[in-house]
A = this chain, B = another copy of it.
Amino acid sequence: MTSPKTTLRLTPLAETLPAAVPFVGPETQERARGAQFDARLGANESGFGPSPKAIAAMADAAHDAWMYGDPESYDLRVALADDLGVDADQIMMGEGIDGLLGTLVRLFVGQGDPVVTSAGAYPTFNYHVAGFGGALHTVPYRDDHEDPEALLAKAAEVGAKLIYLANPDNPMGSWYDAARMEAVVAAIPCGSLLVLDEAYIDLAPDGTAPQIDPETPGVIRMRTFSKGYGLAGARVGYAIGPRALITAFHKVRNHFGMSRVSQAGALAALRDPDWLEHVRAQVAISRAEIARIGAAHRLRALPSAANFVTLDCGRDGDFARALVAALSAEGIFVRMPLKAPQDRCIRVSCGQKAEMMAFERALPRALACCTEI
């Protein structure tokens, strides 16, 4: 783009921000390669699909799409509250966790305000922090896990307003059990807010989700219908936290931002726990498949509590990047961690049998293309 400085009077902060897209979407890649992917395994979407009941509810709600969605998402929040054992006013709905993260960062982070995350953790959180001028401090992963104690220590050191921690973690798939997370919550430095991203919690082993009284100051949890419930394209996430914090979202959020069709789909999905169990079982099968396929080519599967498996290629980031590109050329969409040393890996989302077979066929061909690296 040409420099807009003379014609566009952007804010000084906006002037400094790049217009880069954090993730190039698979459709963009498909347009570039002139063909659709055979297997869409790069965005941790749920190839097992949403509940048929959710699909039916969305089809029904399409007739009502002339009406704005309820800006309170009342029915959905009440159902979630009932499910979670919290109050509906301790829940805020938003356009995916991405949307909620943006609003949260906006509420807390001004120019130069310190924020702590792990080097290589969720880039969209970092994008929002940069977008509001925050100063991001990172700590390294430890043994392919986020390092909670290092995050807390860094937060105390810099006086962090926000601390980002995902459990299970993306992109590594690693996780901590509930007791460990409860200890982390107990140790949050005064004045810091822990943003506990639980996007993948529905797919984690029982005993992963910590017990946290939602009024606990200093912690907000983020969850989504995008992963286990298979509704990434509907854009429905939610935050659980203290009433005073949840209420603060009303200060700046796009009140009428939720799709009515998506609200209906999420509600129906929530009311079909059998489908979630089905997906959990399918994900477990697919995780084992990805591990088996990787192992056949000396790519080591890291343990995963999410709907993806991170495969350690045992080489460097250049090799993994080449492998991701070669897989793309073979019709397989995957992604990879962005920071060393995690970038020695590729990340493969779980999927149905056909996608697993496509991945199995493509992997040796893609690896053969990478031998000169």
Contacts and interface: CB of A to CB of B under 8 A. Distances in A.
A4 interface: yes
A261 to B, nearest CB: 5
Interface string A253-273: 011111111100100000000
A202 to B, nearest CB: 14
Given A23-B71, A98-B256, A257-B99, A9 B65 contact: no
Contacts of A113: 11
B259 A259 contact: yes
Given A49-B66, A50-B65, A62-B58, A14 B252 contact: yes
Contact of A22 (B65, B66, B255, B261): B255
A25 interface: yes
B235 A74 contact: no
Interface stretch (A168-176, A241-249, A288-296): A241-249
Contacts of A79: none
Nearest to A30: B70
Contacts of A28: 70-72, 74
Contact of A17 (B27, B63, B242, B251): B251
Interface of A: 1-2, 4, 7-14, 17-23, 25, 27-28, 31, 40, 43, 45-50, 54-55, 58-59, 61-72, 74, 95-96, 98-99, 102, 106-110, 113, 131, 161, 191, 193, 217-218, 226, 230-235, 242-245, 247-248, 250-252, 254-262, 265
Given A18-B251, A65-B265, 9 more contacts: A17-B252, A31-B74, A45-B67, A50-B66, A66-B232, A68-B226, A69-B235, A235-B256, A261-B262
